[in-house]
Amino acid sequence: MGVEKGSGTDTRTEHTDAPANRDHSPGVPPDNPGSPGQPSRLDSRSRAGQQGNGSQPSEGTTGSGRPEGRRDARTGFSEGGSTGKAESGKAETGQAGQQDQESRSRDGGARSGGTASGGRDRPQGQPAEPQTDGRAEPADRSASPARQYRMPTDNPGAPGQPSRLESLARAREAQQSRAEGVQDTGSGGGAAGRREGPPGSSQAAGRAEKPGTPTRIESGQGGRRDEQPRSRDNGAQTGGGTSVRDRPPGQAAGRETDTHTEPADRPASSARQYKLPADNPGSPGQPSRLESRARAREAQEQRKAQDVQYSGGQNAGMGGTDFATIEQDAREPLRDKYGPSIGVGEREDEGGHESAGTDTAAGGDSGGASSGDRDRPTSHPSEEAAGGGAPEAGSSPDREHGPLSRQDVSEPADGPTSPGVEQDPRRADEPGGIGEHPPRPTEQTGGPQETGTETAPGAPAPRRHDAEPAGDAEPGPQLLDGPAADDRTPRPESAEASVKQPANQPQDGPAGEQTTAPDQGSEQPLTAEERPRAEQDGTRPGPKSGQPTEAGGDATAVRRQDAASGQGSENQDAHTSDRRTTDSAPAPSQGAGEAPRTHDASGESASDHGRKAEDDGAERSPNETNEMNPEVTEPGDESTPPSRDSGRSGEGEGPRRDVAPHEENPVETEPSRFGGQLRMSVDSDGRPVLPNRDPVESEVGTRGRGEFGSPESDPADRDPRQEDSERLSRRRELRRGIFDQPDNVKNSVDTLADPIRTSFDRVQPTGHHTGVHNNMDQFKSPDHPLQAGNIVLTAAGATIIILEGTRRGAKIVRQLMRRVHDNYR
């Protein structure tokens, strides 16, 4: 079993399964003894990763187990004997697993495997192992050149089998301790061993487990292995630590991603180094610290409850490994959901880590085991590496912000408890501007819940980063001084919404959030909007800060410096400023000193807007700005893209300023515009009156009948008598025209007495119309009675016709008779 676990895949699978184990973790408590071993592993890995770059040998002690294990696993197949021995010793514990490995190495890899799961994975892995191992190795190598360098170095060292032996022995010791822890923690230990295993040191891990007497526990884990086989398969394919899980869809790609993650993990390992010393004793406590931080910070009350759930498994024996597993687990679901985005984010993060991680080449090896851890620390180291000195300087404010947010949440003391952790948050915060660092620390602390809730897929990490950058935005407070307040007011809403979101999300996957958070955070400026939210939430600020740090991380170097200048109280301001910057540009536009920040956030657009803003001055209200320049403000408000640009927040501020002046100007101009019009149309009532308007009835008045028209022309007032008078006068003249005074009336009357009588007599009415002829003789009716003469005439004529007819008939007959007779003749 341990052998199986020994394979990098196994460890990975364990990690993946780890959450389940955690759930099952009630048995985890036994891991507590192993917990110290876990940190040792992690520490060794991280140390090896960090220091390993420069000094592998020193790390070799701790980290050697892994690389050796890898060597063993890789070379071990060929060398089988050595590994087999170790395994044989382990066989007691590892039993079938070891035997399988041995048999594999012996048989050359074509075994069905004692354990179905192990056998399966192995047989595949065996023939494939050399291949897969080679693949995984080259992949790891390619992914992290440091690894490659390591491997070859180890190889030469490998010939120094003793190194292996030494490493084996060391690993055994460590593994024993681990195994104990595993037994204690159960799932947790298994997860750690698994983690260790996957990097390729699986054999070593298996060995450690084997010698770790609690082999049964391992075998018990074997059941887990059975569960794990999936992860194993994935892990075998990917071979990478956490990335492998993510990779499962595409092995090759997974390898690549692994490589990326590993380097990123390396820097993280460096962070761990710092942490580890404190963590070692606290290692069991580290998770507790982290958990407590995360809980207190992120969960607050709700989150705390959620954290408690997680803590059950984590507290049991979860080391950084547990977190890593958690992260991986979370990543897996996240990846499943947001696979592309997350994967990209991870890749980017990894890539970033690689760049940084290359510095910590050792981390690559160790990273295999502590891939999850690597991811976390990677963000930090990567940030450090990437950020260089600047991020550190700036990191101080960011750190402050990050911790502040955390502290705000619930754990001011946590920061001091684990300096390493504090450093990490600082780092995260510092780069936080950068984004990657903050998210991780936040993730570790309590980021997972929040982040997971907020942007489980990809957003969570950026949010954290954003929140951190918000811390970075400490300069933000400067911005806040100006118009930022206005911006803030609107933003809080978004912040509230964001807060609500996280609350919902936290369960989704705190660990996943952690893992994803850094990656996404580094990658995604997506949550630039969310940043302010996260900042507001305090818990979120971590992840959010992580995001801004990412986006801003590039440009936030200035911020960091600025932040370094003033942290403390500014942290809150910074958070607010971050919100401002992210959400809306106004904040950046406010202060010239803030300008760098604004420039960082808004970038180019900020410059343009900044001009306007300068003109307008800080007095402008954000609302006005929004109204005036909706476009500018909108991007600023949404700001996710601008925040991504890192300078966008400043840009957003710039446009805001611009907007504000615009508003003011139009207001001024408008009154002037309307002034003329008011003069034109204002009436006594204040109503606008048209110049040319027809008179109204009220004005003209009615004729008493509701009719329009002047009363003077009212026809009702007309006197018909006047016309009559005229007519009369006219008639008079006419009448007088016919009257002439006769000279002798009496004579005329006497002479006309007869015609007067005749004319006076009326004509008697006849009853006929004057046009009708009274003489009806001209017309006679056609039905008058038949007359006798006519009858005689008709009878005579008829007789004549008949006689003539008969005569002619007889004539014809005679002729015919003659012819007949003639014929006979």
- Alpha helices, DSSP H, located in 474-540: 475-479, 485-488, 490-504, 510-523, 530-537
The reply to whether 737 sits near another protein by the rule CB under 8 A is yes
Smallest separation (angstroms) from another protein to the CB of 742: 4
- Between residues 684 and 758, which has the closer beta carbon with respect to another protein? 758
The DSSP H or E segment spanning 441 is helix 439-445
Smallest separation (angstroms) from another protein to the CB of 776: 24
Question: Binding residue for another protein (CB under 8 A) from 684, 710, 713, 741?
Answer: 741
Write the secondary structure of 712-773 as one string of H (helix), E (strand) and C (coil): HHCHHHCCHHHHHHHHHHHHHHHHHHHCCCCCCHHHHHHHCHHHHHHHHCCCCCCCCCCCCC
Cβ atoms within 10 Å, residue 656: 43
The reply to whether 753 sits near another protein by the rule CB under 8 A is yes
**Of residues 588, 578, 574, 573, the one with CA closest to residue 632:** 588
The reply to whether 738 sits near another protein by the rule CB under 8 A is yes
Smallest separation (angstroms) from another protein to the CB of 798: 58
Smallest separation (angstroms) from another protein to the CB of 738: 5
The reply to whether 824 sits near another protein by the rule CB under 8 A is no
Alpha-carbon torsion (686, 689, 691, 693), positive or negative: negative
Q: Are 521 and 547 in contact (CB under 8 A)?
A: yes
The reply to whether 740 sits near another protein by the rule CB under 8 A is yes
Question: Binding residue for another protein (CB under 8 A) from 732, 807, 808, 818?
Answer: 732
Q: Are 553 and 379 in contact (CB under 8 A)?
A: no
The reply to whether 712 sits near another protein by the rule CB under 8 A is no
**Residue 85: exposure state from Cβ atoms within 10 A (0-12, 13-18, ≥19):** middle
Cα of 678 vs its chain's centroid, Å: 50
Amino acid at 655: P
The reply to whether 734 sits near another protein by the rule CB under 8 A is yes
Question: Binding residue for another protein (CB under 8 A) from 110, 756, 798, 800?
Answer: 756
Cα of 455 vs its chain's centroid, Å: 9
Sole window of 58-66, 102-110, 465-473, 755-763 interacting with another protein (rule: CB under 8 A): 755-763
Provide the 8-state DSSP code for 95.
T
- Between residues 717 and 754, which has the closer beta carbon with respect to another protein? 754
Question: Binding residue for another protein (CB under 8 A) from 690, 696, 716, 745?
Answer: 745
Question: Binding residue for another protein (CB under 8 A) from 683, 717, 719, 761?
Answer: 761
The reply to whether 768 sits near another protein by the rule CB under 8 A is no
- Between residues 721 and 825, which has the closer beta carbon with respect to another protein? 721
Smallest separation (angstroms) from another protein to the CB of 778: 25
Smallest separation (angstroms) from another protein to the CB of 770: 10
Smallest separation (angstroms) from another protein to the CB of 726: 13
End-to-end CA distance of the chain: 157
The reply to whether 717 sits near another protein by the rule CB under 8 A is no
Sole window of 147-155, 285-293, 445-453, 730-738 interacting with another protein (rule: CB under 8 A): 730-738
- Between residues 741 and 778, which has the closer beta carbon with respect to another protein? 741
Sole window of 294-302, 415-423, 591-599, 744-752 interacting with another protein (rule: CB under 8 A): 744-752
Question: Binding residue for another protein (CB under 8 A) from 668, 726, 750, 804?
Answer: 750
The reply to whether 718 sits near another protein by the rule CB under 8 A is no
b (16+ CB within 10 A) / e for 293-330? bbbbbbbbebbbebbebbbbbbbbbbbbbbbbbbbbbb
Sole window of 184-192, 452-460, 591-599, 742-750 interacting with another protein (rule: CB under 8 A): 742-750
Q: Are 58 and 51 in contact (CB under 8 A)?
A: yes
Smallest separation (angstroms) from another protein to the CB of 723: 11
Sole window of 55-63, 227-235, 428-436, 749-757 interacting with another protein (rule: CB under 8 A): 749-757
Smallest separation (angstroms) from another protein to the CB of 758: 4
Beta bridge partners of 149: none
- Alpha helices, DSSP H, located in 360-388: 361-369, 371-387
Smallest separation (angstroms) from another protein to the CB of 728: 9
Sole window of 53-61, 444-452, 609-617, 752-760 interacting with another protein (rule: CB under 8 A): 752-760
Amino acid at 48: A
Question: Binding residue for another protein (CB under 8 A) from 685, 694, 712, 754?
Answer: 754
Sole window of 517-525, 672-680, 746-754, 777-785 interacting with another protein (rule: CB under 8 A): 746-754
Smallest separation (angstroms) from another protein to the CB of 707: 27
Question: Binding residue for another protein (CB under 8 A) from 676, 686, 706, 755?
Answer: 755
Mask 363-382, x = binds another protein (CB under 8 A)?
--------------------
Q: Are 605 and 643 in contact (CB under 8 A)?
A: no
The reply to whether 776 sits near another protein by the rule CB under 8 A is no
b (16+ CB within 10 A) / e for 772-794? eeeeeeeeeeeeeeeeeeeeeee
Residue with tokens 């540009």: 585
CA distances from residue 503 to 459, 488, 536, 539, 713 in whole angstroms, order as listed: 14, 22, 13, 11, 86
The reply to whether 698 sits near another protein by the rule CB under 8 A is no
Residues contacting another protein: total by CB under 8 A: 32
The backbone torsions φ and ψ at residue 777, rounded to the nearest 5 degrees and listed phi first, read -65, -30
Provide the 8-state DSSP code for 682.
B
- Between residues 731 and 814, which has the closer beta carbon with respect to another protein? 731
Interacting residues with another protein between 25 and 54 (CB under 8 A): none
The reply to whether 744 sits near another protein by the rule CB under 8 A is yes
- For residues 172, 177, 179, 181, the Cα torsion angle rounded to the nearest 10 degrees is -160
Q: How many residues does the chain have?
A: 825
| Interacting residue ranges for another protein, rule: CB under 8 A | 730, 732, 734-763
